[in-house]
Chain A
Amino acid sequence: MLAVDTPWLLAGLLLALLPLFNNGMQHSAYPWLVMLPVDPLSQLISVLLRLCGMATVAALVLGLAGLHQTEQSRERIGYGANIVLLLDRSNSMDNTFAGKTPEGTDESKATAARRLLGEFVKQRPHDLLGITEYSTAPLFVLPLTENKQAIQAAINATATPALAYTHVSKGLSMALDAFADQPLSGSRIVLLVSDGAAAIDPDSELQLRQYFKQQQIRLYWLFLRTANSPGLFDKPQDARDDNAGAMPERYLHLFFSSLDIPYQAYQAESPDAMQQAIADINRLEHAPLHYRERIPKQDLSGTCYLWATGLLALLLMVKFCEVRR
């Protein structure tokens, strides 16, 4: 859609008719035009000159009126998914996989996650990505968007020092909320990246079950396991320890498994394993995706002035070719 900033200036377009009446050349009197041959080349040049003049005036007026293209959305089909990255911002993410503060060339879990997710985003050009983080409270970072620059920036922003604890249920709710008013197109994925878990209270559990069902979510849990910490699939040696308080990871995994949704958990104990897991997800999620691409408003007045300048230069050149008698 083309539009202008100051519509009343469009009245100036009437001026574009002027070249029809006067081609701007100095006339030399001639007794009888019938004596001059009808020359197709000259006629063509004459018509082109008038058209050039009209186009110049029109371009100038449109430039003055501020011609622009309004914001548009384009329907596109790509291969990808709607992905919400749910990142853990708890303190422990700033430690290495060995559970220590990173020193020298050591890479913290957050850094590794940042690096690998950055690559992951780069490989998936058609995905709609959103980012949600959680710590003690959930952090809303970015809604589902196709703007890769914004996504990269949001991922890079996790380089700031991590926050306090892990409150996964709130984070999950917020991640699911991101899909709330999105059309159902392509697969919907929540990629939970965390290095720990927390118990989910029964109220939240009920709500989450409902949400997961409603939104038709596929859940991937990339669990960055710190050395010597309980894994997802470990069974406690002591039956007394078998509760959500003592082994939150195991119980969260059990909760996810019980949701009756496509769910996959990856337990990564090193950056390499993590990369493996992400490549796995990358491979799995390639369903056709129907989405609308937004094209922002484009100012065309610059183009108008450029054309006017070019045409004026052309007309000036022709003026120099004119013979004055």
Chain B
Amino acid sequence: MANRQPEIFQYRLAMPGNRVYPGAHAGRRVSSGQLFKRHEPLIAYPDPRRIDLRASVLDVFEQYRVRVYQQHSLVDVLLLADMSASMTGDKPDKQQVFADCLASIAESAFSYGDSFSFIACGATVEPRYVLMQCKQRGAIPSLISRLQTARFAPQNPRWQNALPYLPASPSLLFLLSDFHFDLNTLKPLLHHLRQHAVVPLVSWQRSEYQDLPEWGLVSFQDSENRSTRTLFMRPALLRKIGQLFDQRRRQLQSFFRAFGSEPVFLEDHYNAAQLQHYFLKRTA
């Protein structure tokens, strides 16, 4: 699973970053860089290499002017993942999506030199499955292998528990879940995430709404609360389930748009090109 070279995507923030450390993303800091921003007095930026003689001569206060450039800065990338049972269940497909997504986002962050954080939020946030400000590639495969043996609690995530782990500075935050829970429980978290660029990743399996059998009796068991429901599948019911999921998709979109983010639907597979496309569209 982790042996494959993860696909990467390029990301940009719509809003420039404000981190002190130089990085790969356009920021609000001025220092050394490629893009000229403005002139500053030498006393403010005491770098004699960048004295602009022409600007100094033209300065009415007869002071030395220094050229300052836009500094590219770091962005913290954070993956906040839902660790409830429905995210893996016993289906390898979902685990694959989870691992692929984690590896790809981490690799993309490392390719920019950004730091990557991972928080798995189930009923609690277990420190074993938390990775903070990581810049080492080697940490990712071991985290993935740890996650593969993790027991995903049959309980909806308690997002409140993740709050202490969230960074204070604006970051790029991916929120990976199937969002199969009451969205009202997510509202307090999203209020706290306002300063971050949030990208909700909705991981759905087509086998849950499209690739169901057309005829026959199926007994479904809820991954979280273990209740069961027997359905007599028939084409009309299948259409109805499809409609319900379409409705849910629209509901999720309008819900996240209210918080200024647009969800990405990962159906069956994780595809880095999909995220690439998403960022091109968002920040064009």
Q: Which chain A residues have a beta carbon within 8 Å of chain B's beta carbons? A: 23, 25-37, 39, 41-42, 45-46, 49, 318, 321-323, 325
Contacts and interface: CB of A to CB of B under 8 A. Distances in A.
23 contacts: A28-B218, A29-B91, A29-B223, A31-B86, A32-B180, A32-B181, A33-B229, A35-B180, A35-B241, A35-B244, A35-B245, A36-B241, A36-B244, A37-B237, A37-B240, A41-B232, A42-B229, A42-B230, A318-B217, A321-B216, A322-B216, A325-B207, A325-B218
A30 B223 contact: yes
Most chain B beta carbons < 10 A, residue from A25, A26, A39? A39
Contacts of A323: 213, 215-218, 233
Interface extent on B, as a size class? 20 to 34
Contact of B208 (A30, A37, A46): A30
Q: Which are the 8 A-B pairs with shortest beta-carbon distances?
A: A32-B180, A31-B86, A323-B216, A27-B221, A25-B219, A30-B220, A46-B230, A29-B89
Contact of A30 (B181, B222, B232, B240): B222
A28 B86 CA distance: 12
Contacts of A35: 180, 208-209, 241, 244-245, 248
Main secondary structure of the interface of B (DSSP, over half): mixed
Contacts of B218: 28, 322-323, 325
Most chain A beta carbons < 10 A, residue from B86, B90, B232, B237? B232
Interface string B32-62: 0000000000000000000000000000000
Main secondary structure of the interface of A (DSSP, over half): mixed
B3 interface: no
Given A25-B230, A42-B230, 13 more contacts: A29-B86, A30-B208, A30-B222, A32-B180, A33-B220, A33-B229, A37-B237, A46-B230, A322-B216, A323-B215, A323-B217, A323-B233, A325-B213
B217 A31 contact: no
B81 to A, nearest CB: 15
A36 B230 contact: no
A36 B227 CA distance: 13
Nearest to B156: A32
B241 A31 contact: no
A325 B237 CA distance: 17
B228 interface: yes
Nearest to A325: B218
Contacts of A321: 216-217
B163 interface: no
Most chain A beta carbons < 10 A, residue from B180, B230, B240, B248? B230
Given A46-B230, A49-B230, A37 B180 contact: no
Interface in B224-261: 224, 227-233, 237, 240-241, 244-245, 248
